[in-house]
Amino acid sequence: MDLAASVGSRLKELREARGVSLSALARRSGVGKATLSELESGRRNPTLETLYALTTALDVPLSSVLYDPAHPATISGDAVDAVLLERFEADTSVTETYRIRIRSGATQESAAHAPGTTEHIVVLAGTAHVGDVNDPALIGPGAHGSWAADTPHVYRAPAGDVEALLVVRCPK
């Protein structure tokens, strides 16, 4: 996937999640409507200045629109849709926060990640069956679970779609 296109769609996600129109964001950020329109559709290669104006208007750190193809943390699969909300890089670890949906009745297994990787989930709606492949936990709305992700683990929605936040933390 093209870099500009992925940044564009990420910007669009953030804008729409806040219920802001393209015109309104352009006005607030001082960026031209033409620029923003073509940027969101991936037809432009934005400058740093433009990106900064937009991310500050959206109140997110600049880094949160930068998908990094070097670390393809694509969790999305048959059963899980994931949208990256934020990425935080510390001295010794990288933490990514995703908004995920597990489709009703579906199960997704994930292979072991890098050693030392851990995951957290906070379930927003529905009941999920997640965690170690041999001992997944049942987690209901408002509850939290965590597990080591350096062994195979599973995401399952036994009854009804599950909406959740997933936090993946892996050492560098």
| Whole-number Å distance between alpha carbons of 170 and 93 | 6
Kindly state the tokens that stand for 122.
């906070």
Q: Choose the stretch contacting a copy of itself; rule: CB under 8 A; options: 65-73, 106-114, 130-138, 149-157.
A: 65-73
Q: Which partner from the list DNA, a copy of itself, none does 21 bind, CB cut-off 5 to 8 Å by kind? A: DNA
Q: Which partner from the list a copy of itself, DNA, none does 38 bind, CB cut-off 5 to 8 Å by kind? A: DNA
Q: Please give the DSSP secondary-structure letter assigned to residue 79.
A: S
Quick check: 66 binds a copy of itself (CB under 8 A)?
Answer: yes
Quick check: 9 binds a copy of itself (CB under 8 A)?
Answer: no
| Whole-number Å distance between alpha carbons of 55 and 48 | 11
- Nearer residue to a copy of itself within complex by CB, 64 or 108: 64
CB of 26 to a copy of itself, least distance (A): 18
Strands (E), 70-152: 80-89, 93-102, 107-110, 118-132, 137-139, 144-148
Q: Which partner from the list a copy of itself, DNA, none does 85 bind, CB cut-off 5 to 8 Å by kind? A: a copy of itself
Binding interface with DNA (CB under 7 A): 21-24, 30-35, 37-41, 44-47, 49-50, 53
**Scanning the structure block, which residue is given the tokens 């930068």?**
66
CB of 23 to DNA, least distance (A): 3
Residues with Cβ within 8 Å of 82's Cβ and at least 6 positions away in sequence, in order, are: 74, 75, 76, 98, 99, 100, 166
